[in-house]
Amino acid sequence: MDNIKKKTIISALSLFFQSGYSAFLGLAANLVLTILLSPAVFGIYIATLSIISILNYFSDIGLAASLIQKKEITINDEKTVFTVQQILIISLVLIGYLSSSYITAFYKLPPEGRYLFLALLFSFFFSSLKTLPSIFLERKIQFQKIVLVQIIENTFFYLIVIILALMKFGLNSFTYAVIARSIIGVISIYLISPWKIKVGINRQSFKQLVSFGLPFQASSLLALVKDDLLNLYLGKVLGFQALGYIGWAKKWAEAPIRIIMDNLSRILFPVFSRFQQDKEKLRKLIEKTIFYQSSIITPSIVGAALIMDKFIHVIPKYSKWEMALPLFYLFCLSALLSSFSTPFINLLNGLGKIKISFYFMIGWTLATWILAPILVHLFGAIGFPITLLILSSSFILVIRETKRIINFSFIKNVFPFTISSLLMGICIFLISYCGLSGLPTLLISISGGIISYLGILYFIFKINFISELKILTNKYE
């Protein structure tokens, strides 16, 4: 138990370090690209990634998740998962290649857009080779080793993108970077987590793995339909420029939950699976998860919403994204609300209650495809974030359903951070009227926001982050 906790903390800290490092590189790349590239070109990149996400879904029928969730795995399990996945991957790569001309014509992509699509297909195949070595590390909760591979990949990817964009390669900057990243990633993961490729399909293993994998993958399918297919729909209906604005706003607004929640989700799923029979330990774990994620995500999103207008005017040639600010504010609110449901969906999956999370995904998907076309038709691009805001409000239903299984306290763990973030927002708002402008105002707003947030937590709610961190680390030394 203590060993798992220690591994969990080490893995979490490693993932957050990698996220911070990647976020820094991503910020630099995103700034360069969104300065040099037009919203329309940025929209093409987003649409192309969505097509690959669709292919990625069909590359796995939930077998990888089954291996992580399973208590013990055999050689037959390993070779069955690898072989089935490769059959699916190769088939999809061929389909994608044969469909590339049609996709290019349908979306009126430039030649560079087709090259990027083909490069992503290449990357798609190479990424599948990393599945088994990564699963072994996840089962051991050794995410720090996975993090090392991601750091290597991201370093090469972002540096290549930045350098080529500055050399005016345009959309081709992504193409070359994607190819380099996929090759370097495969080499790195096999050096860190060696695995001898095994080929073969065992019927008994396949049936056992699919029994959990198919419902799990069905939820992923709904997420795919809800997100990536909708991006393609928006690109066709609104055009790539509007999709570029949507992609920019959504990317920035969801940055905190991508960094925090995506990493927590990867760790919590195997950890929840290990403690399926101990509800008391699960209660403590979920409450700590809510406590720590709220302490970071809530102020981050509130602060980002209040300083983004200053940020775009400080960065050269960045004012072209000003039209996306209304979208950004709505995405911020929906991201904050949706962050409250994510850990509970992971808990349900970890406990094997896959049908409950599947039903939620059905509801969210249907609501998305009912509301989005209507609201986009009525309000244009802003109709999409309105749709997400409505859907994210359903976090209350997720919490209520989870409480039927595990009795935990939610409000107590989010209240101090919500109030502190709102008061911090008032401080940032007042700072903006201090008479300064440009970079000084931006820097004073950020530092003032951080100081006021920590001060409010300490003096009003008696929460000391330094003490919390010491308790968290010392407890498992």
At 43, the amino acid letter reads G
Report the length, in residues, of the chain.
477
* Closest by Cα among 197, 182, 122 to 149: 182
Tokens describing residue 456 = 């409010």
pLDDT means over runs of 10, the chain (477 residues): 54 55 65 72 71 54 61 79 82 88 83 86 84 78 74 83 82 87 89 87 78 60 70 86 90 82 64 70 85 90 92 82 94 94 80 81 90 95 96 94 90 94 92 73 89 93 74 50
The distance between the two most distant Cα atoms of the chain, rounded to a whole number of Å, is 72
Q: Exposure of 467 by Cβ count < 10 A (0-12 exposed, 13-18 middle, 19+ buried)?
A: exposed
Q: What is the pLDDT of residue 264?
A: 65
Place of tokens 């903006």: 432
Q: What is the pLDDT of residue 61?
A: 47
User: What sections of 143-201 are H helices per DSSP?
Assistant: 143-166, 172-192
